[in-house]
Structure 1
Amino acid sequence: MGKSQKKRSMRRHNPMRVPDSHLPKGLESAASSSPKNEAVLPIIQKLESPDASERKWACVAVSNLIQNDPSTRRLLQGKNVVGALITRLSDSEEEVWIEAAGALRCAISPGLQDFYCPTFLFLRNLCIDGGYDICAEMYNKNILAPLKTFVPKISSALSQFLESPKTAPENAQKVVYEFTENVNTILWCLSETSNKALNAINQISLVPFLMSFLAARAKLPIATVTAAAQCLYVLTDDNQPAIDELRSNAVYSTCLLEIVHNKGSLSDKDREVFGDRLTMLKVLSSGILSNVSPLPGAASGVDVGKEIVLPLLQPVVASVSLTESSALAESLVTKIALEPPQIEKLSLKNAPQSDHRSDTEVELDRLENKLRTVQLALEILTGVCATLPDPTSEAQEGVPDAEEDDEEEDVTDDMALDDTPITNGTTTASHLPALVEPLITLIQPVRLSFPPAAGQSLHPPTTSVLSAIHVSALECLNNIFLSLSASPNSGLAAASASGKQIWDGVWAALGSVGTEITRSQERKQEMWEIGVGVLWGVGNIWKGSLVPNEEQVQLLIQLCNSSADLAIRVKCIGTLECLAQHPQSIDANRVIAMHLLSILPTSTAPSSHGTEPLIQTLSALIDIYSDENLPYDINFRQGNFLQRLVDSVDGVRKAVRAIDRRKERDLKLRGEEMRDNLVAFIKYRRALKF
């Protein structure tokens, strides 16, 4: 299997709760689709009012208007609300720029309320009418300039509150903490949206600032501490300057380890009231430790993946029922709809407050927060599973990815999927099999998993997080099976019943997703693309024991032919190769072989599927028919497959010759190996006497 699947590529996204791909583009379309069109103009006008109270009201009203409403958000963006709010960040009235910061944060992640603990959110970039995402607009309009000035002010206020808490009224402290949460959330959103913005934020050296909140966690609101942890988690994700800065002080690692082990994290009162948020804080801290591993100082001997991440996060991903969560969300949304908020009735005399939600809305937010915690845990686990040794890393330099089976190393004679450890380098994979069952459960779609083919979800934020959980669970499964297959084990391969159960579970999820994928349902497409990779990993471990299903084979062939993504084609071919090697399934072997042969070039025409899929196809055919004694080998002989391979040799040579060694060295090496193997395989088959 190609190692391109193994490594988690760095992806930076605008952390959107409410996707808007279903909306038509253009300011006019946004105006016609927004139910609050008439309320927009007065708010824009009041943002420029000479009256500070009107400006404050307008900032709060923006947050209310765009909550869970992408059409109104687009309409306001078209009216340059971002520029107006950034201007308000330099307002002479302190309360105005505090509310402006809150409004900007809601513009990035609509629905995040001032006292609501933000969680790691990512769906895709929010595009404005001109094609620019909103965070790029904020960065281009120099939002970092005022934010930089807030950092030392916040640090000074925090020090004062901690040293002399009685010097400031409780209300004043609350305002500062809420504002701090807003600032940290904006920095977090900008950091994971654009590498350009991330590089600029690196210049601020935020690590000491953010760690100060974690160090003082027992004396600060949990929401403020978690916002700092969230920002730090994003900053240390594949970002070397922040990683180096955090690793430079061993006290930081000690603090994070204390949070993970629940030492002095919160007051008893906060622990009782904010249990879910404490879990989020622990998950974030484990993610930060994973990002900066290996740890410095006295903690240098800690295996973060083995000793912290896997045992801590496994119960988190097993703690939620998506079916129950979806049903609860539907119930709460229905209840909220009975008393909808009347944004249009807001007045200056009765300006909205930061915490203006009903108990039902708070409960819905708490549910989403719990789901976001699970989604974050899955992302961290995916990264840990991806760092397990790649079998190719131990090969001699210059040797390409070979498809033939590696020499098996028997760890145990009697291995069960659920309780036997597999040692792989310095990191144990013993927790990986135990993760499989909850992950298979988490990939199964529920009622609110995807938006309907036409229209919008009953509650877009819940739909967003549910679909993100499905995708993240599949990504985690993908890396688990790649890691398990990296160290072939006869005992694991013998657990064929477990293999079939997992295989059926993945197909059940994909079957629920279906093949009818419309606009605004990109997550369904992602599930298929990642799901095929999981199937390849499962098939590779239980190769020869999985009985091919005719409908599944046809779906894989159709996806291979229709996808424009070469990586998807490679995954389909790899999965079909595994199915073709079930000894007794002669008819299925023939169907798969005919598809693989159709991918080969001829002496006059190149392969229609691309070079990398072609190389994978050659590997598959050689692997399938390397043992002439298998029952399905009759297809090779009766179908005259040998002649088809002979006819492809010149085309294969041309395809390999066309690979640019400077740009695609690994592919070039593998292509040259497969070319040579093809010639040798033809000679071998010709020499056989039947």
Structure 2
Amino acid sequence: MGKTQKKRQMRRHNPMRVPDSHLPKGLSAATASSSKQEAILPIIQKMESLDAAERKWACVAVSNLIQNDPSTRRLLQGKNIVGALITRLSDSEEEVVIEAVGSLRNLCIDGGYDICAEMYNKHIMAPLTTFIPKISNILSQYLENPKTAPENAQRLVYEFADNVITILWCLSETSNKALNSVNQIATIPLLMSFLGAKDHLPLATVTSAAQCLYVLTDDNPPARNEVRSNGAYTACLLSIVRGDEESRKPNGKGKDVSDERETTLRVLCTGILRNVSPIPPPSIAATVNIDSELVLPTLLPVISSISLPEVSQRVQELIAQEDAVPEMEKLSLKHAPKNDHKSPAEIELERLERRLRTVQLAVEILTGVSATLPDPELEPDGEEDAHDDIDEMDGDEDAMSDDEGATELPQKSAPSALPSIVEPLLALIHPAPLSFPPTAGAASPHPPTTSVLSAIHICALECMNNVFLSLATPARLQSQGFASDADREAGPKIWERVWRALEAVGTNVDGPGQERRRDMWQIAVGVLWGVSLLWKGTLIPQEAQVHVLIQLCTAASDASVKVKCVGTLECLAQHPEAIDGNRFLISLIGAPSAVPTEPLLQALSALIDIYSDETAPYDANFRQGGYLDALTGCVETVRRLVRGIDRKRERDLRRRGEEVRDNLIAFIEYRRGLRL
């Protein structure tokens, strides 16, 4: 098993709000599935109009058309809307430029990596680079004396800057080339100037700056070093996280500190400080233990404060309210852009989505914390250093959670932080009514909510994976000791809660739009492996659960998923009542050349482990099923497989293969010697 590690190409704090991977590819498919295709041509034509008002209208119309509508977004993309909007960034009319930036920002958020990559390839960085000094200068003038600043300074500082920063944030997660381009412009000072002026600016814009900075400092040495080496920057971030008196007064008007944006800002600044740690003196932040003093106290209340079923229900109520509004009362795209004319229901839907995104972000940061929690068996005098890596075990990534009842974890081997992380995560795994699109292929009633709910489930699973691996130390697994009866009982409770969540996910994971269901199964099986490792021999295998694991292992095309299934079945097979549940493993070596190398090695290792005790009740399977002959017959195949593993490119796998090969030969000799 292995911990879930952050990978830039695999991680995005704000993923596509409306996933469209289930939609057919191609322009003709987008044309057929879009209900707004008649509006496309006028927009494209007016984008090039000599009338600035029409160009502005066209830019705004793009944002209106793509809202929660991936088909129309793809159709516009097929008509080169990205190139047309980038051209408008050099428009002679400032209002057109402002609206074009806003539309490009919305395309980034709603369209994801493909559109961001298209923007970069069509040279969006050139005009964006010219905007940075302009925003900086106007911000300085506005902060020094708002009355003498340019007439439109407030809009440029608020709306325009927010959109530019968001585009830079999205581009930074598109590719290393785009990230390097962002690194080469004066992005960090600009972002920190917004954070430093937090009390005088809207939280929306300040939060966008924090989001961009969070992404830039994640595994990006130039930005990371620039922030961590500036004591004023880190002190500013620390002040926001700690919620100092002045930091709790956004805009200087003492707004309610429970404002979602304020919470989001604190979470983001916590993530930034963790990204740039360890922080060197003389910064005041150098004296702070980031994980124990900031991350856990700040983030645990955030992930504990929300009920996903309640949010899902409220979203459904708001959708019903919107549907009940007569069409004639709704603003028409043909007559006026509706950006600033959102209904109360739309505003609350956005607020709920923002709150859910904050929870997702908090869990994401905690996943990194749980990946580096110290090994309690190796800590001298019970002290913890949150930056020490624990010994990682061979395997893959995943995690877990659910929604009812508190569960104690074994205290003997758990750092004090782990149980406090586990319980709120358990409440985030169980699907809510809007967590996935309907399995019949219909669209979600509210795609943004569905996207973020499923993302939270997956993040929680990944975090739980790391937590259980932090518990599953080699010493802990070897001793199999529990501090109390409550610790012994915790495993079965957690096991059942994960299975209840998976039952709610369902097994219909191959239809269009059901990718997240499949992802949850693939991650959750790693969690089941972690739980079964910790409580090996105490989990009573259920026939239905074993059957599902076998089906998943058989159907999976990903070798790592097969490995996790085999590992889980191995642990279940070592329960005294597992007379029938371990027969699947021997079938994997019946035709070893047809099984991928890693699952085959895992299956062989599992059989050796299971049947090393000839006195166990389930050893009857080994004797009656002719397992010794089956193992003997695959020795030469295993030798060839091991020889075929590249020593340089797959060093760990080669070492693992040689170990299993040697153990297999020794095991066969041992069982022959028993003469049973």
TM-score, normalising length: structure 1: 0.88
Distance 1:91 1:173 in 2: 20
| Other-structure match for 1:417 | 408
Read off the aligned partner of 2:264 and give its amino acid letter. Answer: M
| Other-structure match for 2:508 | 516
| Other-structure match for 1:135 | 116
- Pair 1:174–1:270, CA change in 2 (3 A): farther
- Pair 1:83–1:392, CA change in 2 (3 A): farther
Matched, 1:457 2:424: no
> 1:541-580 counterparts in 2 under 5 A?
541-580=534-573
Q: Report the Cα offset of residue 16 of structure 1.
A: 1.0
Give yes or no for contact 2:64–2:339 (8 Å, CA) kept in 1: no
> Quick one: which of 369, 374, 377 aligns to 1:384?
369
Give yes or no for contact 1:7–1:387 (8 Å, CA) kept in 2: no
Matched, 1:177 2:158: yes
Give yes or no for contact 2:303–2:425 (8 Å, CA) kept in 1: yes
> Quick one: which of 334, 338, 345 aligns to 1:346?
334
Read off the aligned partner of 2:429 and give its amino acid letter. Answer: I
| Other-structure match for 1:491 | 482
| Other-structure match for 1:94 | 94
| Other-structure match for 1:158 | 139
Distance 1:514 1:389 in 2: 36
Q: Which runs of 5+ in 1 are unaligned?
A: 111-123, 127-132, 404-415, 424-428
- Pair 1:36–1:574, CA change in 2 (3 A): same
Distance 1:68 1:137 in 2: 20
Read off the aligned partner of 1:505 and give its amino acid letter. Answer: R
Matched, 1:283 2:267: yes
Give yes or no for contact 1:418–1:434 (8 Å, CA) kept in 2: no
Give yes or no for contact 1:64–1:343 (8 Å, CA) kept in 2: no
Give yes or no for contact 2:376–2:413 (8 Å, CA) kept in 1: no
> Quick one: which of 596, 602, 625 aligns to 2:585?
596
Distance 1:170 1:436 in 2: 52
Give yes or no for contact 1:63–1:103 (8 Å, CA) kept in 2: yes
Matched, 1:192 2:173: yes
> Quick one: which of 637, 655, 660 aligns to 2:641?
655
> 1:250-265 counterparts in 2 under 5 A?
250-263=231-244, 264-265=246-247
Distance 1:626 1:324 in 2: 50
Give yes or no for contact 1:606–1:655 (8 Å, CA) kept in 2: no
Read off the aligned partner of 1:223 and give its amino acid letter. Answer: A
| Other-structure match for 1:477 | 464
Give yes or no for contact 2:437–2:514 (8 Å, CA) kept in 1: yes
Q: Report the Cα offset of residue 542 of structure 1.
A: 0.5
- Pair 1:12–1:148, CA change in 2 (3 A): farther
- Pair 1:611–1:217, CA change in 2 (3 A): same
Give yes or no for contact 2:64–2:338 (8 Å, CA) kept in 1: no
Tell me whether 159-168 or 269-278 shows the greater mean CA deviation. 269-278
Q: Report the Cα offset of residue 23 of structure 1.
A: 2.4
Read off the aligned partner of 2:466 and give its amino acid letter. Answer: N
Matched, 1:370 2:355: yes
Distance 1:290 1:400 in 2: 21
Distance 2:34 2:645 in 1: 51
| Other-structure match for 1:21 | 21
- Pair 1:469–1:606, CA change in 2 (3 A): same
- Pair 1:48–1:269, CA change in 2 (3 A): same
Q: Which runs of 5+ in 2 are unaligned?
A: 380-390, 396-406
> Quick one: which of 518, 526, 536 aligns to 1:533?
526
| Other-structure match for 1:46 | 46
Distance 1:421 1:400 in 2: 19
| Other-structure match for 2:454 | 467
Q: Report the Cα offset of residue 617 of structure 1.
A: 1.2
Read off the aligned partner of 1:233 and give its amino acid letter. Answer: Y
- Pair 1:638–1:419, CA change in 2 (3 A): closer
Give yes or no for contact 2:138–2:149 (8 Å, CA) kept in 1: no
| Other-structure match for 2:107 | 107
| Other-structure match for 1:116 | none
Distance 2:258 2:202 in 1: 10
Read off the aligned partner of 1:288 and give its amino acid letter. Answer: I
| Other-structure match for 1:130 | none
Q: Report the Cα offset of residue 419 of structure 1.
A: 8.6
Give yes or no for contact 1:15–1:108 (8 Å, CA) kept in 2: no
Q: Report the Cα offset of residue 401 of structure 1.
A: 5.7
Q: Report the Cα offset of residue 465 of structure 1.
A: 0.7
Give the root-mean-square deviation of aligned CA atoms. 2.5
> Quick one: which of 275, 294, 299 aligns to 1:308?
294
Give yes or no for contact 2:196–2:236 (8 Å, CA) kept in 1: yes
> Quick one: which of 191, 199, 203 aligns to 1:210?
191
Distance 1:596 1:229 in 2: 50
Q: Report the Cα offset of residue 149 of structure 1.
A: 0.6
Give yes or no for contact 2:43–2:58 (8 Å, CA) kept in 1: yes
Distance 2:229 2:549 in 1: 49
Distance 1:402 1:689 in 2: 34
Write the deviation string for residues 433-489 of structure 1: whole angstroms up to 9, x where unpaired.
Answer: 122222222111111111112220101011111111111111111111111112617
Distance 2:273 2:27 in 1: 44
Write the deviation string for residues 27-62 of structure 1: whole angstroms up to 9, x where unpaired.
Answer: 222223222211221111111111111111111111
| Other-structure match for 1:238 | 219
SS of the residue 1:512 aligns to = helix
Read off the aligned partner of 2:408 and give its amino acid letter. Answer: L
| Other-structure match for 2:399 | none
Read off the aligned partner of 2:607 and give its amino acid letter. Answer: L
Tell me whether 662-671 or 63-72 shows the greater mean CA deviation. 63-72
- Pair 1:69–1:392, CA change in 2 (3 A): farther
> Quick one: which of 587, 590, 604 aligns to 1:618?
604
- Paired-residue identity, %: 60
SS of the residue 1:91 aligns to = coil
Give yes or no for contact 1:108–1:135 (8 Å, CA) kept in 2: yes
> Quick one: which of 490, 493, 496 aligns to 1:501?
493
Q: Report the Cα offset of residue 393 of structure 1.
A: 12
Read off the aligned partner of 1:356 and give its amino acid letter. Answer: H
Distance 2:345 2:331 in 1: 18
| Other-structure match for 2:398 | none
- Pair 1:249–1:674, CA change in 2 (3 A): same
Matched, 1:8 2:11: no
Write the deviation string for residues 84-136 of structure 1: whole angstroms up to 9, x where unpaired.
Answer: 110111111111101110011111224xxxxxxxxxxxxx946xxxxxx1111
Tell me whether 259-268 or 439-448 shows the greater mean CA deviation. 259-268
SS of the residue 1:587 aligns to = coil
Distance 2:376 2:643 in 1: 27
> Quick one: which of 280, 287, 291 aligns to 1:296?
280
| Other-structure match for 1:226 | 207
Give yes or no for contact 1:185–1:231 (8 Å, CA) kept in 2: yes
| Other-structure match for 1:632 | 618
Read off the aligned partner of 2:52 and give its amino acid letter. Answer: A
SS of the residue 1:607 aligns to = helix
Write the deviation string for residues 661-681 of structure 1: whole angstroms up to 9, x where unpaired.
Answer: 111000001111111111122
- Pair 1:6–1:83, CA change in 2 (3 A): closer
Q: Report the Cα offset of residue 75 of structure 1.
A: 1.4
- Pair 1:493–1:527, CA change in 2 (3 A): farther
Distance 1:504 1:393 in 2: 31
Distance 2:652 2:644 in 1: 14
Give yes or no for contact 2:482–2:488 (8 Å, CA) kept in 1: no
| Other-structure match for 2:422 | 436
